[in-house]
Amino acid sequence: QKEVEQDPGPLSVPEGAIVSLNCTYSNSAFQYFMWYRQYSRKGPELLMYTYSSGNKEDGRFTAQVDKSSKYISLFIRDSQPSDSATYLCAMERVGNEKLTFGTGTRLTIIP
Amino acid sequence: DSGVTQTPKHLITATGQRVTLRCSPRSGDLSVYWYQQSLDQGLQFLIQYYNGEERAKGNILERFSAQQFPDLHSELNLSSLELGDSALYFCASSVTPSTGQETQYFGPGTRLLVL
């Protein structure tokens, strides 16, 4: 079993819809949670970072962490065609500097 | 543009060969990370260097090695290449060793195809 599980999709939604992307994990030692966006033929770029449980909002993006359920989510409001990309969740243990990534969810926003 | 550069962008080679991938971190970043991204395995951490010293190792094969030079650029050497080594190789950098609070900035990647 992988430490981090992420539905690979693909996921297609109409423009303007709310998108929900999710990851589950098995290692309770993960304390830092990140979402990266990766456009085709580009490197991943950090979208959101959260520490421990709770919500964090940045513009149209909201990241949620539920450590009791070992479940994290990324919500995208008012989705735009430019949001079409692969979204990767990533996690890190305190004192362990490597990131463990999910396999990524491929998202397409249909105009 | 993240500020991290990687060369070459594409590399096509044959099985059994050896290649070197190069990474220049963002100005001021001391920590460099190497990742491998394949369709079936996703993004896998290979190795990390901090200020010239190896800091952490992940799922890096013995056929692979890396180093970070005094000018902080890093090279990933892949030898005795196999078909399964075909993948995207990313370099990332951060100012200090990442503790989650320190963002890792990714380069554009090197696409390796082993024939």
> Concatenated DSSP letters for A37-86?
EE-TTS--EEEEEEESSEEEEETTEEEEEETTTTEEEEEESS--GGG-EE
Say which of B97, B105, B106 has its CB closest to residue A97.
B97
Strand partners, A73: A22, A64
Write down the pLDDT at residue B53.
Answer: 94
Which residues does chain B have with pLDDT short of 70?
97-102
Q: What is the pLDDT of residue A8?
A: 82
User: Which residues in chain B have Cβ-Cβ distances shorter than 8 Å to A99?
Assistant: 33, 45, 98, 104
Would you state the pLDDT for residue B104?
86
Phi-psi region at B50: left, alpha or beta (left = phi > 0; alpha = psi -120 to 50): beta
The predicted pLDDT at position B99 comes to 57
* Cα separation, A73 vs A69, whole angstroms: 12
pLDDT of residue A98: 79
CB contact under 8 A, A44 and B90: yes
Burial of A99 (0-12, 13-18, 19+ CB in 10 A): buried
Summarize pLDDT for A31-42 with one digit per residue, the tens.
899 999 999 888
When pLDDT is averaged across residues A65-81 and rounded to a whole number, the result is 95
CA dihedral B47, B50, B52, B55 (to 10 degrees): -50
| A4 secondary structure, DSSP code | E
In this predicted structure, what is the pLDDT of residue A43?
92
Predicted local distance difference test score (pLDDT) of residue B36? 96
What is the pLDDT at residue B9? 96
Please judge whether B106 and A43 are an interchain contact, meaning their C-beta atoms are less than 8 angstroms apart: yes
How many interchain CB pairs under 8 A, A with B?
67
- What residues of B are in contact with residue A88 (Cβ under 8 Å)? 42-43
pLDDT of residue B32: 94
CB-nearest partner of B45 from A43, A46, A99? A99
CA–CA gap between residue A5 and residue A60 (Å, rounded)? 24
Task: Give the mean model confidence (pLDDT) for residues A2-30.
Answer: 93
Q: What is the pLDDT of residue A84?
A: 97
Residues of A in CB contact (< 8 Å) with B are 31-32, 34, 36, 41-46, 49, 51, 88, 90, 92, 94-104
Question: What mean pLDDT value characterizes chain A?
Answer: 92
Task: Find the mean pLDDT for residues A62-89.
Answer: 96
Nearest one of B29, B38, B37 to B5, comparing CA atoms: B29
pLDDT of residue B1: 82
